[in-house]
């Protein structure tokens, strides 16, 4: 099995820019492993159970690198586990470009995110 780049976020890779896709493909084939919904009333132990469930799925894909971003407690625990296993774990770094459109009494703010790089945890 060839190495893979695991996208473990709420942002499907088919919506990524060419630049982000190219940076990910440098690690291997991109595979989306969607970030799980984390209930706000989940206990610490329940979050750790979710981490272990998804960790097994991620490891079965033989990752060269994992992009992991989402709910903070889960992300922290997952990144810790992946790093313990020696797996390159990344965050996406983007520039926010914001514009405002004023129409009468309404102001609409639109933000666009431009991928810059992956940064290792």
Query: Domain locations in the chain?
Result: 4-120
Of all helices (H) and strands (E), which one includes residue 12?
none
Calculate ∠ Cα 44-50-54, nearest 5°.
145
- Cβ pair 115, 90 in contact under 8 A: no
Give the pLDDT of residue 91. Answer: 98
- pLDDT per position as a tens digit, 5-39: 999 999 999 999 999 999 999 999 999 999 999 99
- Cβ pair 20, 7 in contact under 8 A: no
Domain 4-120 has CATH 2.60.40: no
- pLDDT per position as a tens digit, 30-82: 999 999 999 999 999 999 999 999 999 999 999 999 999 999 999 999 999 99
Give the pLDDT of residue 67. Answer: 98
* pLDDT band at residue 1 under the 50/70/90 scheme: low
- Cβ pair 31, 5 in contact under 8 A: yes
Give the pLDDT of residue 113. Answer: 87
């Amino acid at each position: 099995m060839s190495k893979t780049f695991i996208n473990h976020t709420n942002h499907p890779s088919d919506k990524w820019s060419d630049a982000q896709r190219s940076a990910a493909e440098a690690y291997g084939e991109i595979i989306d492993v969607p970030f799980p919904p984390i209930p706000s009333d989940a206990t610490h132990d329940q979050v750790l159970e979710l981490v272990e469930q998804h960790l097994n799925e991620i490891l079965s894909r033989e990752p060269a690198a994992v992009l992991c971003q989402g709910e903070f407690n889960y992300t922290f625990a997952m990144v810790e586990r992946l790093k313990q296993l020696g797996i390159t774990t990344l965050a996406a770094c983007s520039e926010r470009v914001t514009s405002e459109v004023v129409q009468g009494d309404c102001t609409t703010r639109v933000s666009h995110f431009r991928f810059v790089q992956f940064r290792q945890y």
